[in-house]
Chains A and B, each alone.
Chain A
Amino acid sequence: MNRSLRKLFIFSVFCIASIGLVGAQQLTMSIYKQEITQTLPKLLAAFTAANPGITITMEIHPDDGGATNAAAAAAGKLPDLVQTASYAKVIESAKNGYYLDLTKQPIMSKVIDGAKPAVTYNGKLYSVPMDFAGIGIIYNKDIFAKYGLKAPTTYLELQKVAATLKKNGVTPFAGLLKENWSIGHFMEMLHSSMLGAKVGTDGLMKFVDQMNSGETSFDKDVDMASIFKIMDWYKANMADNATEMAWDQQQAAYIKGEAAMMVQGLWALPSPKDNPKLNSGFIPFPWSNKKADNRFFADVDSTIAVSAQSSPEKQAAALKFVNWLSSPEAVKIWTTDINLTSTIKGASVSTMAVPFQELMANVNKNGSYPWVFSMMPSATWEQAIKNGALSYVLGKEQPAQIVAEINDSWKANYKK
């Protein structure tokens, strides 16, 4: 063998050997939360610094990543780590054997008990609940102060606030009607809140069971006409071109002060980097004129699961990451840099922005309505509700059709 070939051979053997020695693993992680794509790398880098040899690359799949991850799982190519929404998305994958059982992992004993139902299937825990999120109104406190407005606690107060803002040339709500998920959240929030106010959280869980068995209807005990009326009012209080606005345009309109409010999850709170002077608050969407009915629509939002389709070595590396997430360093990055609440016991919101503290204080005082949309079959949420809500605001479908489709889809797609 000539000299250069020999060198190349020795070098290759060295590389292969060193990979084996160090136990280097390259993991992939599927992410759906588009708002954390800039900040999550800090968390991943911190993990690699603490665990040299294990690197994690992000794959971004917006709009809940549902269809993309489903296709990957069916082909046996699920990424090693999967950020997934709670409840049904975890349960369906657990049922299909796509996620590892994490019940005995150390991190699970450090997660608050209230967050565990969101990741439980057959009594086992299949994903790590990461953040507890609320959907409500993010509002600009300075604009409100400028026009002498107080944060509304009833629907009539909200209507008056919007009327005053309009009179003063400020768009009440920054719209996001180009994508289907936000208006889907809005419609579901109204339904769960109205039903929850009537029957309580236990009643809502019973409603889910009865929808699963086809014993009840989506419009039972809820005045659907009033839901669609509120949706009409909401759209009428956005800019004229709200249907053309997607995530970036909604953020821009709120950050620039063109709009005073956004009905969004707190994940949409703009980063101080975008406008350090922005002074935001967070309140439940007050759909009712009875103050006590107006609670946050809040629940476990994102979770992180480990793929059962990865090799044992990759699974071991992925489990190291998942357990590291309860470390003080990880919790600090998650809450202060990534700006999401933490479900780890003892994690404090005092270092987080004011709206997060307002969310947790309100939930601790008044309770919350759970995310029924996470508990229904994925197909019902993705098509019947998200697309149903968007079709309604585009004038393409009427309430009766939408309700019928929700009922049919839920019954047809529920699998034990």
Chain B
Amino acid sequence: MVGNKAQARGAFAIFVLPALGLYLFFAIWPLCQGFWLSTTNWDGAAPWTPAQVPIAQFESDILGKAKSESDRRFLLKYYVKDEGQGTYRKLEAYGLPRYRLMAIFKSVGYVTQDFKNVGLKNYTDIFTGNLDKRFFPERYKEALFQPGDPVSKLALIPRSEFETQVLSHVQSPQELAYLRSVYSPTPEGYALDHKLGSLDEVDLQSVLSEIPGLADDWEGLFQTALSSGERGDSTALSAAIAAVPAVSGKHISAANKAILDSTLKEAFDLGHIKGVMAKDWYQDRLKWGVLLFTAIFVIVNVACVNILGLLLALALDTKMKSRNVLRSVFFIPNVLSMIIVAFIWQLVFREFLPALTGIKEWMMNPDLAPWLTIFVAVWQGVGYYMIIYLAGLQGIPQDIIESASLDGATGIKRFFRIVLPLLVPALTICLFLSLAGALKTFDIIFALYPSNSTSMGIDNITVNIFYDAFRDQHAGLATAKAILLLFVIAIITGTQLVLTKRKEVEM
């Protein structure tokens, strides 16, 4: 507490005023500028006043309409005439001159197309869902077989997969009958007819390309047979075969014609099974999208770091001999830079785990990827919360615990009735930090998945904002998202603080 009024004024001047000034400059001003940017259609790259303007346009529409002589002089200070280019070219202008230039351009009614005010359009786009569809959860069909995949992939399909992922998708009775004719159930699963399964596109093409008299026409015939097979259109195949004499223009011996016919028929059969399976073998999946992935990431991350952090703190609050070493060991991940963390785990997921488990795909398995990211984030963060919980535990007077034991309270009861209520201040801080941190997470996702997080579907809101601004050239929209994120974080953490503060127990 400060002694007298003079000291209070002194403290205000020396400490509070500068702090307020810094806060204004580093927090309030950027927030205001951010909000202003979010009302524009800025693409993140275009300069805020034009880099060049055609000479005639600059002189008539800008210089000519300038409101004062000082405005005119200011413009000519930063725009130089380049006769060779036919434009007035802007010299570097950052800081305050940039804002004055913008004000002058606005006063003459000049609008920069890639940086103009669009009012609250970015916000209405966000709230009406007029965004890239990757932002929202979406059902999609994951194709389990593509037309260019080798037919060997179709050789044996486990029973349940065949029934749920193939047969249940078949629309027509003819197609169902066809599949049942070429696939037979075996103890291991549904097996493709051996002859069909051993057809090889390269062999078929080789045979066709070596038939004398066909020359280059073999490829067109092969593609026609394959594609008519994919469509199940046998009349197209017959037409193609019938057209061969005209197509080749040369005589093909009867023996070679027979080879040609049977090879084209095999190509048709190959195309048919591939076409049907490419159409029907899929799995209905849900793409989480940015919103759902962010929500799941936050909930799971916060739950895990807090529960695990508390459990570790409880374990290390005991009298075990190695507790000091262990405290350091568990805290070390938290002091590592994200690049090192990403490097370590990429090595583990790419080299060690495949060798240990035989499963080859870890990080690039779209089902596992979100969970691996959460796992690494928890691994990196848990030590920090463990320290806070440990400090909280050590602040609980031992005599309260001892008297509870004497009164007959068991370990679990002691924990929930005595320890946890007294730990609420630590819980308040940890929940607050972990919630805000999880909502703002950028570095762990960016370091683990540097160029492919969008394709993997693990962009969270901050990564999405970054890519929106600087890859997809929608910086105005990205800033609007960032402003909204700020309010979301404030509301969530504010609510959490109020709720947990109520539960704090005074000793």
Contacts and interface: CB of A to CB of B under 8 A. Distances in A.
Given A233-B148, A241-B354, A67 B471 contact: yes
Contacts of A397: 140
Residue in A124, A177, A178, A181 with the greatest tally of chain B CB atoms within 10 Å: A178
Contact of B466 (A67, A179, A228, A387): A67
Interface of A is mostly: helix
B450 interface: yes
A64 to B, nearest CB: 9
Interface of B is mostly: loop
B44 interface: yes
A70 B44 contact: yes
Contacts of A101: 85
Contacts of B143: 395, 398
Contacts of A240: 360
Contacts of A96: 45-47, 51
A67 B89 contact: no
Contacts of A249: 350
A396 B139 CA distance: 11
A157 to B, nearest CB: 10
A376 to B, nearest CB: 13
Contacts of B469: 71
Interface string B341-381: 00000000110001000001111101000000000000000
B147 A225 contact: yes
A398 B142 CA distance: 9
Q: What band does the interface of chain A fall in when counting residues whose beta carbon is under 8 Å from B?
A: 35 or more
A390 B362 contact: no
Contact of B150 (A97, A236, A309): A236
B147 A232 contact: yes
B470 interface: yes
A327 interface: no
B148 A228 contact: yes
A179 B147 CA distance: 24
A71 B146 CA distance: 39
A387 B455 contact: yes
Contact of B206 (A73, A156, A394): A156
Given A97-B90, A159-B202, A383-B454, A394 B147 contact: no
B467 interface: yes
A244 B454 contact: no
Contacts of A232: 146-149
A178 B452 contact: yes
B201 A391 contact: no
A228 B470 contact: no
Interface string A240-272: 110110000100000000000000000000000
Nearest to B473: A379
B456 interface: yes
A143 to B, nearest CB: 19
B144 A180 contact: no
A97 B51 contact: yes
A309 B237 CA distance: 65
Interface string B173-208: 000000000000000000000000000111001100
B455 A180 contact: yes
A172 to B, nearest CB: 12
A80 B140 CA distance: 46
B454 A387 contact: yes
A178 B369 CA distance: 12
Contact of A244 (B51, B150, B350, B456): B350
Contact of A243 (B147, B148, B361, B450): B361
B114 interface: yes
A308 B92 contact: yes
Contacts of A390: 452, 455
Contact of A74 (B45, B141, B361, B471): B45
A6 interface: no
Nearest to B452: A180
B457 interface: yes
A38 interface: no
A28 B44 CA distance: 22
A122 interface: yes
Nearest to B149: A232
B475 interface: yes
Interface string B52-73: 1000000000000000000000
Interface in B448-484: 450-452, 454-457, 466-467, 469-473, 475
Nearest to B51: A97
A74 B148 contact: no
B183 to A, nearest CB: 21
Contacts of A355: none
A244 B202 contact: no
A62 to B, nearest CB: 8
Nearest to B95: A76
A96 B43 CA distance: 11
Contacts of B142: 395-396
Contacts of A244: 349-350, 354, 360-364
A225 B349 CA distance: 34
B202 A228 contact: no
A46 interface: no
Interface string A182-224: 0000000000000000000000000000000000000000000
Residue in B200, B209, B350, B475 with the greatest tally of chain A CB atoms within 10 Å: B350
Contact of A71 (B452, B457, B470): B470
B140 A396 contact: yes
Contacts of B457: 396
A68 B451 CA distance: 12
Nearest to B144: A395
A243 B216 CA distance: 36
Contacts of B206: 156, 160
A378 B467 CA distance: 12
Interface of B: 43-47, 51-52, 85, 89-90, 92, 94, 113-114, 140-144, 146-150, 200-202, 205-206, 209, 216, 219, 287, 349-350, 354, 360-364, 366, 450-452, 454-457, 466-467, 469-473, 475
7 contacts: A71-B470, A156-B202, A159-B201, A180-B452, A289-B216, A379-B472, A398-B143
Question: Which 9 A-B pairs have CB atoms at the shortest separation, nearest pair first?
Answer: A232-B148, A97-B51, A229-B148, A67-B470, A243-B364, A390-B455, A241-B360, A76-B94, A391-B455
Given A92-B45, A236-B149, A395-B144, 7 more contacts: A70-B44, A163-B200, A228-B147, A232-B148, A236-B150, A383-B472, A387-B455
